[in-house]
Amino acid sequence: MKSFLIDRYGKGQALRLGESPKPELRDHDVMVEIHAAGVNLLDSKIRDGEFKLILPYRLPLVLGNDVAGVVAEVGAKVRRFKPGDEVYARPAQDRIGTFAEFIAMNEADVAMKPSHLSMEEAASIPLVALTAWQVLVQRAGLQKGQKVLIHAGSGGVGTMAIQLAKHLGAHVATTTSTANIALVKELGADVVVDYKKGDFEKVLREYDVVLNSLGKDTLEKSLAVLKPGGKLISISGPPDPDFAREEGLNWMLRRVISLLSFGIRRKTKSRQIGYSFLFMRANGEQLSEITSLIEAGIIRPVMDRVFPFESTNEAMAYVETGRAKGKVVIKVR
């Protein structure tokens, strides 16, 4: 099958368009004919080798972490899906590869596609929506009336997280640039800080939760926003000891990760704030709940551009500029 893959790790290198074997279909797997694939910064980070110590992929590696398509085959023990079903998913981290014509995934990681969405719209959703769900619902336990700051509100995760937080009844603040203020307000943000004109840490106070997807400076400035007992949850690092334990990493890697997050954990502890790093997981059950919200009109996809399959490298480069509003998608077929 045609696929975009890497033969070695390398910062900023182009993916190679080539032929790779069709994935193996296991007993609990669905084989999906890929129609569209979302593009995420995670793809660039994997290509650059940022995760090679904690996610030891075998090379060559087909990239891609979001998919929408049609079930082509099912494994012997699959009960929830049949050939012809329109589905979407974020594949498990050890079985990525959506920049291709086919992918095999465990049925537990897959959900039926929202019926009224196009394949491209559906492919824009899984990774960012599951990230927002796992931060706000699972990790933060966000409650009605609580205050949450969502950084980078016009990005892929931000656009989903704002909508989900409003559905949960929270008061939502976000940061964005001047050009995207109208978009994030339309999605439900109550307070918008234009980072080009002001400092969020000087105007926001007594927040219960911060979702950080930016760098170290933003992470540390976010401490001033949170009240004692608040939660600082980062999807951009640094990883923490709980993550290392969940991944079953060896003693040396656990030690390295503990040191990487020592500074921010010390600062949060002194302020009686909880810090945690979240690396989102594939979860078809949660994605089905998100589907219900989409079909009820509570959450909608926000898409910037759709690229043809042969322009996958251009799509990656566009996402890396950081200027995309919502998601960028590749149309595979």
Domain boundaries, the chain: 2-125+301-331, 127-277
Q: What is the pLDDT of residues 76-100, one digit of tens each?
A: 999 999 999 999 999 999 999 999 9
Q: What is the pLDDT of residues 255-270, one digit of tens each?
A: 999 999 999 999 999 9
**What Cα–Cα distance (Å) separates residue 5 from each residue in 8, 21, 229?**
9, 12, 44
Crossing angle of helices 284-295 and 126-133, in 10° steps, is 100
Parallel, antiparallel, or unpaired: how do β-strands 327-331 and 303-308 relate? Answer: parallel
Find the range with the poorest average confidence among 49-53, 141-145, 233-237. 49-53
Report whether pLDDT(60) > 90. yes
Across the chain, what does the average pLDDT equal? Answer: 97
Q: Give 192-197 contacts, CB < 8 A, sequence gap 24+.
A: 192/153
Name the E strands within 75-127: 86-89, 102-106, 110-112
pLDDT band at 237, cuts 50/70/90? confident
pLDDT band at 54, cuts 50/70/90? confident
How far is the C-alpha of 117 from the C-alpha of 293, rounded, in Å?
Answer: 13
Crossing angle of helices 312-320 and 41-48, in 10° steps, is 100
Q: What is the mean pLDDT of residues 62-69?
A: 98
Confirm if 33 and 23 have CB atoms less than 8 A apart. Answer: no
Confirm if 101 and 36 have CB atoms less than 8 A apart. Answer: no
Instruction: Write the single-letter amino acid at 201.
Output: E
How far is the C-alpha of 153 from the C-alpha of 288, rounded, in Å?
Answer: 24
Confirm if 307 and 314 have CB atoms less than 8 A apart. Answer: yes
Confirm if 234 and 219 have CB atoms less than 8 A apart. Answer: yes
CATH 3.40.1360.10 matches 127-277: no
How far is the C-alpha of 38 from the C-alpha of 119, rounded, in Å?
Answer: 10
Q: Which pLDDT value is given to residue 319?
A: 97
Domains 2-125+301-331 and 127-277 belong to one CATH topology? no
Here the tokens at position 314 are 């251009």
pLDDT band at 327, cuts 50/70/90? very high
How far is the C-alpha of 331 from the C-alpha of 310, rounded, in Å?
Answer: 9
Here the tokens at position 37 are 């694939």
Instruction: Write the single-letter amino acid at 182.
Output: A
Report whether pLDDT(215) > 90. yes
At 91 the three-state DSSP class reads: coil
Q: Which pLDDT value is given to residue 210?
A: 98
Confirm if 200 and 152 have CB atoms less than 8 A apart. Answer: no
How far is the C-alpha of 25 from the C-alpha of 153, rounded, in Å?
Answer: 38
Q: Which pLDDT value is given to residue 56?
A: 84
Q: What is the DSSP letter of 34?
A: E
Q: What is the pLDDT of residues 98-120, one digit of tens each?
A: 999 999 999 999 999 999 999 99
Q: What angle do CA 32, 136, 240 make, to 5 degrees?
A: 90
How far is the C-alpha of 139 from the C-alpha of 69, rounded, in Å?
Answer: 30
Q: Which pLDDT value is given to residue 80?
A: 97
- Phi/psi for 300 (5° steps) reads -130, 150
CATH among 1.10.600.10, 3.40.1260.10, 3.10.20.30, 3.90.180.10 for 2-125+301-331: 3.90.180.10
Find the range with the poorest average confidence among 80-84, 112-116, 224-228, 247-251. 247-251
Q: What is the pLDDT of residues 24-34, one digit of tens each?
A: 999 999 999 99
Q: Which pLDDT value is given to residue 78?
A: 98
Q: Which pLDDT value is given to residue 273?
A: 98
Rg (CA), the chain: 19
Q: What is the pLDDT of residues 148-204, one digit of tens each?
A: 999 999 999 999 999 999 999 999 999 999 999 999 999 999 999 999 999 999 999
Contacts of residue 116, Cβ cutoff 8 Å, sequence gap at least 6: 295
pLDDT band at 75, cuts 50/70/90? very high
Confirm if 152 and 127 have CB atoms less than 8 A apart. Answer: no
